[in-house]
């Protein structure tokens, strides 16, 4: 992996966490129950924490004086490297849970590998901590998938619809990509097909327990890793970045 590739790879890890954390933080104060409000905020906090550590690391590696905030607030949507999945709007609680579930299962596989790889020891340290968090997130989203799937008729219909709609966005997790391929070749990322198999198995098992149908379609929406996003990301960044952009010389 070249240094530029290394940085891009770090940004892809960081951006997944930051964008999903930002999305989840929109729930704060609006969740279906107080207990769930606290749970979603906790997950958002974990994700933002992961992104900060990864962005700082990327900035240091780059050596151009960009810190976590510079990277978060002064990159355009075209420079963001996150999966399309994580930038999709929250929708209803079921949409949020399905999105989280698909991502958590992916993050679990990815962080498990990141914690063990020796290519980047700083990432290994971040991943070791993150893995504990992600295990909890994965349990949380799976428990909810099961409750919504095997709950009422209404909830089953809604969550199945969420699953079907989000499904095309899951393929991007395992898609071929120059930078990620370089990372895989360096041992920094898990083997693609093995990771995808593991993901398919664990996602299938939970959907099965949730009495839901696993979609068959193989069409993939992608582009996020190259900065080609959905229409939603630019709006999200406009909101997220407004203050630092308006007051570029200010410290907060």
Report the distance separating Cα 221 and Cα 83, nearest Å.
10
Of 35 and 176, CB closest to other proteins: 35
Task: State whether residue 82 is helix, strand or coil.
Answer: coil
Q: Which of residues 67-96 bind other proteins (CB under 8 A)?
A: 68-69, 72-73, 92-94
Of 60 and 192, CB closest to other proteins: 60
Whether 178 and 225 have beta carbons less than 8 Å apart is answered as no
Report the distance separating Cα 234 and Cα 79, nearest Å.
11
Q: Which of residues 30-49 bind other proteins (CB under 8 A)?
A: 30-39, 41-42, 44-45, 48-49
Of 72 and 195, CB closest to other proteins: 72
Per-residue binding letters, 208-247, with other proteins (x by CB under 8 A): -------------------------------xx-xxx--x
Report the distance separating Cα 24 and Cα 234, nearest Å.
17
Whether 46 and 133 have beta carbons less than 8 Å apart is answered as yes
By C-alpha distance, which of 169, 159, 173, 153 is closest to 206?
A: 159
Cβ 137 to other proteins, closest distance in Å?
11
Report the distance separating Cα 197 and Cα 40, nearest Å.
28
Does 64 participate in binding other proteins (rule CB under 8 A)?
no
Whether 61 and 10 have beta carbons less than 8 Å apart is answered as yes
By C-alpha distance, which of 86, 98, 102, 104 is closest to 147?
A: 98
Per-residue binding letters, 94-133, with other proteins (x by CB under 8 A): x---------------------------------------
Does 169 participate in binding other proteins (rule CB under 8 A)?
no
Contacting residues toward other proteins, per CB under 8 A: 18, 22, 25-26, 28-39, 41-42, 44-45, 48-49, 51-52, 55, 68-69, 72-73, 92-94, 139-140, 143, 146-148, 150-152, 154-155, 158, 239-240, 242-244, 247, 249-252
């Amino acid at each position: 992996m070249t240094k530029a590739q290394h940085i891009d790879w770090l940004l892809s890890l960081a951006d997944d966490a930051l964008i999903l954390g930002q999305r989840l933080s929109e729930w704060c104060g609006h969740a279906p129950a107080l207990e769930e409000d606290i749970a979603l905020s906790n997950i958002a906090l974990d994700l933002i924490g992961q992104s900060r550590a990864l962005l700082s690391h990327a900035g240091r590696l780059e050596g151009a004086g960009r810190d976590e905030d510079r990277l978060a607030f002064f990159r355009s949507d075209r420079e963001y490297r996150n999966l399309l999945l994580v930038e999709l709007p929250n929708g209803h609680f079921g949409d949020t849970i399905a999105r989280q579930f698909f991502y958590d299962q992916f993050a679990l596989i990815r962080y498990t590998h990141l914690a063990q790889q020796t290519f980047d020891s700083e990432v290994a340290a971040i991943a070791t901590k993150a893995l504990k968090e992600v295990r909890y997130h994965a349990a949380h989203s799976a428990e909810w998938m099961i409750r919504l799937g095997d709950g009422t008729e209404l909830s089953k219909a809604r969550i199945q619809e969420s699953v079907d709609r989000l499904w095309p966005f899951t393929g991007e997790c395992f898609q071929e990509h120059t930078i990620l391929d370089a990372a895989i070749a360096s041992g920094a990322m898990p083997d693609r097909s093995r990771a995808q198999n593991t993901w398919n198995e664990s996602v299938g098992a939970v959907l099965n327990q949730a009495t839901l149908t696993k979609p068959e379609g193989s069409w993939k929406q992608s582009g996020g890793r190259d900065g080609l996003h959905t229409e939603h990301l630019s709006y999200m960044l406009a909101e997220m970045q407004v203050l630092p952009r308006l007051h570029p010389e200010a410290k907060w």
